[in-house]
Amino acid sequence: GAVVSQHPSWVICKSGTSVKIECRSLDFQATTMFWYRQFPKQSLMLMATSNEGSKATYEQGVEKDKFLINHASLTLSTLTVTSAHPEDSSFYICSAPALAIYEQYFGPGTRLTVT
């Protein structure tokens, strides 16, 4: 089946620094990718939709200047958390729709800890 990878799988950074998370579709092309955030004991919350060749679409309440999304190619989307704060510590997951209609594949997630 289709595979989506994320890198890094975990990262610890100091408050005020920026962190980049990569999401790659390994064996299929994805013109759209979704970025989610998940806090402990909670479900996934959609942050933004990444669109290849155009600007990302952000959900209400998500700061576009803080969470920069770049869909660089048909297989790569990146999420950069800028000026990270401890409250940004969370589990970030990406997903990409597959060729089959309505199917989606999820990345393994990136655990971000901001100290």
Partner 1 sequence: KNEVEQSPQNLTAQEGEFITINCSYSVGISALHWLQQHPGGGIVSLFMLSSGKKKHGRLIATINIQEKHSSLHITASHPRDSAVYICALIARGTSGSRLTFGEGTQLTVNP
In the list 42, 73, 83, 115, the residue contacting partner 1 (rule: CB under 8 A) is 42
Q: Which is nearer to partner 1, 80 or 106 (CB)?
A: 106
Q: Which stretch binds partner 1 (CB under 8 A): 18-26, 36-44, 61-69, 72-80?
A: 36-44
Tokens of 25: 């579709």
Q: Among 19, 23, 25, 34, indicate the residue that binds partner 1 (CB under 8 A).
A: 34
Q: Which member of 5, 49, 82, 113 binds partner 1 (CB under 8 A)?
A: 49
DSSP string, the chain: ---EEEE-SEEEE-TT--EEEEEEESSS--SEEEEEEE-TTS--EEEEEEETTS--EEPTT--TTTEEEEEEETTEEEEEE-S--GGG-EEEEEEEE-SSTT-EEE---EEEEE-
Of 18, 51, 56, 21, residue with least CA distance to 37: 21
28 binds partner 1 (CB under 8 A): no
Q: Is 29 in the site for partner 1 (CB under 8 A)?
A: no
Residues forming contacts to partner 1 in the complex (CB under 8 A) are: 32, 34, 38, 42-46, 49, 91, 93, 95, 97, 102-106, 108-109, 111
